[in-house]
Amino acid sequence: MKKIPTFKNEDEEREFWAAHDSTYYIDWNKAKKAVFPNLKPSTKTISLRLSESLLEELKFLANKKDVPYQSLMKVFLSEKVQEEIDKIIEK
């Protein structure tokens, strides 16, 4: 393994890693999974057009589950996206 150089700042480090393959500097087989329990995923606000009937159905379900409809919509969307990814991976 090559020795990782010392960097003066983040910009210098960023430029280095953009131009160098980390596999020459880090043994990724020895890497351990990091857990950052207090970090919240970044979110981005989007605009989404839904039919009024779909929105009303979402609000109805959310009310029955006692959760905000936006939160329920995120759960439904996340579950469906993961389902579709799993289908692709299984092929």
In tens, the pLDDT along 12-52 reads: 999 999 999 999 999 999 999 888 888 888 889 999 999 99
C-alpha distances (whole Å) from 90 to each of 79, 82, 83 are 17, 12, 11
The mean pLDDT value of the chain amounts to 94
What residues does each domain of the chain span?
1-31, 48-91
C-alpha distances (whole Å) from 36 to each of 10, 33, 40, 41 are 21, 10, 9, 11
State the pLDDT at residue 35.
86
Left if phi > 0, otherwise alpha if psi is -120 to 50, otherwise beta: which for 50?
Answer: beta
C-beta separation of 69 from 58 below 8 A: yes
Rounded to a whole number, what is the distance in angstroms from the first to the last CA of the chain? 36
The percent of residues in the chain predicted with pLDDT above 90, rounded, is 84
Whether 91 has a pLDDT exceeding 80, the answer reads no
pTM over 0.75: no
